[in-house]
Each structure stands twice: as structure tokens, then as C-alpha cells.
Structure 1
């Protein structure tokens, strides 16, 4: 599914809130691209590593920066990983901000009901990054 979404995004066909995130691989040194869906909360943008141990989150943590693109628009961003405590309100807001993401995460068993409480409980297990523009 990631390959299909990536191909469609590269063709300039936006899919909902999906963006492409390109980060240098922490082991290979090769740029890796994956679809992501940033959320905005209180004027800040965040990425949530929806699966504990996701490779893109580990690469983002190691690289510290990457490229977020949507269609032809590209932004160079820095990843600021939130502490468990800082991540709680962002995770709690996720179900309302990204209902399609909740459905997907429910299908694969990360959450069962997709409630704010259930998402908040993921703090410390799923990475949460604040995105900062690099100029």
C-alpha cells in the first residue's frame, strides 16, 4: 500500500492528508520515502509513528531532518521528538484530527476502539515528532 500511495503522490495526485517523507536511512545511508499524514495542533505540525518500532521513525530520529513533500511542494524539516509527557496531548488529539488513520490503526491492531484515551496510552511506545521548517 505504501508503494501505491508513494507513486500516486509522486504523480501529483494528493490523497487526503498524505505527504511523502524522505529521510536518510540510518543503516544504509540511502534516502527512504514513506507516506505520512501530519496533523496540526495549536499551530504546530506533528508526525506520529503509528506503529511501535516503525523504520521511518527510527530513521527520522537518527537523521534529525528530512523532506516533507506533497505534489511539487517540498519542505525541509527538522524532527523534534517529544517526551512521553509532551506526546500525550498530541496523541489524544489524533483521533479527531485523523479519522482515516484511526481506522487503519484499528485494522492492524495498534488500537481497538480508537478513543482519545487509547491513543494517549501509546505515549512512550509510538514516536511523536514536532516538525520545524528548516530555512
Structure 2
């Protein structure tokens, strides 16, 4: 069975539209690690904000792209600065994209902690970490490296 392919359809747009104002008010709406990620648009230079989940693994905090190389991934690759906010709390971070070996245990932790994204992975949460290394090229992972507080 192959992983489902992500498409930003009406349902996801509606969910994002409902979750964004909740997170902006400080309500943990997108799961325990739900935050608003703001990046600089790689073409427009305008700020772009989307709800994401931050996962903690291996003593670090990570951004995972469970749906593949979506717009915020391209934006972070062009300008490795991420502003994370929920309510009145906001932090700006420099991010580093992880290689496959580093990303594998993070992806495994992500699927286990946020199972709603599992259909977009070939590997299952119970699979060994090596199965997630093969997923890394389809699910970019970024370490929150240095706070710019």
C-alpha cells in the first residue's frame, strides 16, 4: 500500500482557516505542538503563515513536513528563518534542514505523536527507524537551531 498524496483541497483550507485564529489566540488547536509558522515568501517576500506541529525528539525541537515539500518548506529552504507563535508568545528561529539519517528518528516520532498524518507515510509508527530513512526525501525535516530572541 502506498502513502496518500497530499493535495491542498477545500477541506484542508477550511481546517487551516479554523485553526489559525485559534492558535493566534493561544488555544492549542492543532495538537499539543500546534503553532503558527511564519516564513518569508521565497518569491513575493511577503510573510506567509500556516499552522504546523513542532515535535520534540532527541533533545531538539523539529518542524516536519508530513505532506511533502509544501510552500513553507520551499520558503525555509530559501530563507532559513522561522517565526513560531501561539497566542502572545512568538519566537524566531534559524533552522537547519536534516539529512536522511538525522531525519529518520524524527519522522518516526512525528508519526507516533501525530497519527493523523500517518496515511502520508509508507512507513508505519511501529516500523524500525530505518524504514523512515527512506521517507526523508519526501518529508523534509528542519531542526530549530538557534533562537533569535
TM-score by length of 1: 0.85
Structure-2 separation of matches of 1:113 and 1:127 = 15
Q: Distance in 2 between matches of 1:112 and 1:91?
A: 11
**Residue in structure 2 matching 1:5, options 14, 19, 32:** 19
- TM-score under structure 2 normalisation? 0.77
Which residue of structure 2 aligns with residue 20 of structure 1?
36
Shift of 1:13: 1.8
Please report the RMSD computed on the Cα atoms of aligned residues, expressed in angstroms. 1.8
Secondary structure, counterpart of 1:5 in structure 2:
helix
- In structure 2, the gaps of 5 or more residues are 1-14
Give the corresponding residue for 1:123. 136
Q: Deviations over 1:74-114 (max 9, x none)?
A: 00111100011211121122233x2xx322442xxx13673
The runs of at least 4 aligned residues of structure 1 exceeding 6 Å deviation read: none
Pair 128,112 (structure 1): closer, same or farther in 2 beyond 3 Å: closer
- Count of equivalent residues: 129
Unpaired stretches in structure 1, ≥5 consecutive residues: none
